[in-house]
Amino acid sequence: MAKTPTTPAAKKSAKTSAPAKKASAAKAAARNTDSGASRPEPARDADLAAQRMEDVQATAAAMPFNATKAAEHGAAQGLEPAIGQLVTPPSRLATGSTLSESQAGAKVGTQAPEGRNATIAPLDRVRVDSSGQPLTTNQGVRIADNQNSLKAGTRGPVLLEDFVLRDKITHFDHERIPERIVHARGSAAHGYFESYEALDELTMAAPFKAAGKRTPVFVRFSTVAGERGSKDTARDVRGFAVKFYTDEGNWDLVGNNIPVFFIQDAMKFPDLVHAVKPEPHHQMPQAASAHDTFWDFVSLMPESTHMLMWVMSDRAIPRSYATMQGFGVHSYRMVNAQGESVFVKFHWNPKFGTHSLTWDEAVKISGADPDYHRRDLWERIESGAFPEYELGVQVFTEEEAARFSFDILDATKIVPEELVPVRPIGRMVLDRNPDNFFAETEQVAFCTANIIPGLDFSNDPLLAGRIHSYVDTQISRLGGPNFHEIPINSPIAPVHNNQRDGMHRQAIHRGRVAYEPNSLAGGCPFQAGAAEQGFSSVAARLRAREDQAKVRAKPELFAEHYNQARLFYESQTPAEQAHIAAAFRFELSKVTVPAVRERMVASLRNASQELATRVAAGLNMPLPEPMPLAIARVPKPEVKRSLALSLMARPGDGSVAGRKVVLLAADGVLGEPLMAVHQALFEQGAVPRIAAPRIGPVQTADGVDLQADVSLENEPGFLFDALVLPDGEAGVDMLGRNGHSFEFVRDQYRHCKPILALGAGEGLLRAAGVSASLPSGAADPGIVIDKDADSGVEAFISALARHRHFERETDPPRV
Residue type, 699: Q
How far apart are the C-alpha atoms of 669 and 763, rounded to whole Å?
13
What pLDDT does residue 554 have? 86
Cα-based distances in Å from 339 to 80, 81, 109, 396, 402: 9, 12, 44, 16, 21
Question: Residue 439 corresponds to which amino acid?
Answer: A
d(CA 251, CA 614) in angstroms, rounded, equals 44
Are 760 and 785 a contacting pair, CB within 8 Å?
A: no
Task: Give the angle subtended at the CA of 723 by the CAs of 223 and 659, to the nearest 5°.
Answer: 45
Of 788, 588, 781, give the one whose Cα is nearest residue 673: 788
The DSSP symbol for 441 reads I
Q: Counting Cβ atoms within 10 Å, is residue 497 exposed (0-12), middle (13-18) or buried (19+)?
A: exposed
Do residues 296 and 353 lie in contact, with contact meaning Cβ atoms separated by under 8 Å? Answer: no
In three-state secondary structure terms, 229 is coil
Report d(CA 59, CA 759) in Å as an integer.
Answer: 89
Please choose, from the candidates 387, 393, 485, 415, the residue with its C-alpha nearest in 3D space to the C-alpha of residue 443.
485
**In this structure, what DSSP letter does residue 240 have?**
E
User: Which residues contact residue 331 at a Cβ distance below 8 angstroms, ignoring those fewer than 6 apart?
Assistant: 343, 344, 345, 401, 408, 409, 458, 460
The whole-number mean pLDDT for each consecutive block of 10 residues of the chain, a chain of 815 residues, reads 43 52 68 71 75 87 83 73 87 88 84 86 89 90 91 90 91 91 96 98 97 97 96 98 96 98 94 95 95 95 97 97 98 94 97 96 96 97 96 97 96 97 98 95 95 94 91 89 91 89 88 87 86 75 53 86 97 97 96 94 97 97 96 95 95 94 98 97 96 97 95 95 98 97 96 97 96 94 96 97 94 89
Beta strands 755-758; 783-786: pairing state: parallel
The neighbouring-strand residues paired with 785 are 757
Residue 437 DSSP label: I
Rg (CA), the chain: 34
- Separation between Cα atoms, residue 720 and residue 739, nearest integer Å: 18
Torsional class of 685: left (φ above 0), alpha (ψ -120 to 50), beta (otherwise): left
Contact 758, 789 (CB under 8 A): yes
Query: What pLDDT does 647 receive?
Result: 95
Q: Convert 178-187 to b/e letters by CB count within 10 Å (16 or more is b).
A: eebebbbbbb
Distance CA 814, CA 580 (A): 19
Q: What is the largest CA-CA distance in the chain?
A: 134
Helix/strand/coil for 214:
strand
Report angle CA 711, 713, 717 to the nearest 5 degrees. 85
In angstroms, the CA 149 to CA 30 distance is 55
Residue of 341, 52, 49, 348 whose CA lies nearest to 202: 341
Strand partners, 221: 187, 240
For residue 149, the surrounding DSSP H or E stretch is: none
Judge if the upstream peptide bond of residue 285 is cis by omega within 30 degrees of 0: yes
Helix (H, G, I), strand (E, B) or coil at 246: strand
Residues in the chain: 815
The SS3 assignment for 582 reads helix
| 256 annotated active-site | yes
Contact 602, 624 (CB under 8 A): yes
Query: How many Cβ atoms from other residues are within 10 Å of residue 38's Cβ?
Result: 4
Torsion sign over Cα 344, 348, 354, 357: negative
For residue 197, the model assigns a pLDDT of 98
Residue among 704, 703, 658, 701 nearest 681 (CA): 658
What HEC string does 291-337 produce? Answer: CHHHHHHHHCCHHHHHHHHHHCCHHHCECCHHHCCEECCCCEEEECC
Which residues face 755 on adjacent strands? 723, 783
Q: Which of 183, 190, 291, 805 is catalytic?
A: 183
Note if the pTM is more than 0.85. Answer: yes
Q: Please tell me which residue in 256, 349, 518, 563 is annotated as part of the active site.
A: 256
Inter-residue contact 240 to 318 (CB < 8 Å): no
User: Rounded CA gap, 168 and 435, in Å?
Assistant: 22
Which helix or strand (DSSP H or E) is residue 487 part of? Answer: none
Q: Computed from CA positions of residues 83, 85, 90, 96, in that sequence, does the dihedral angle turn out positive or negative?
A: negative
What residues pair up with 341 in beta bridges, in sequence order?
Answer: 335
The Cα–Cα gap between 212 and 193 comes to: 9
Residue 328 phi, psi (nearest 5): -75, -10
Question: How far lies 137's CA from each of 9, 140, 166, 376, 436, in Å?
Answer: 66, 5, 10, 36, 20
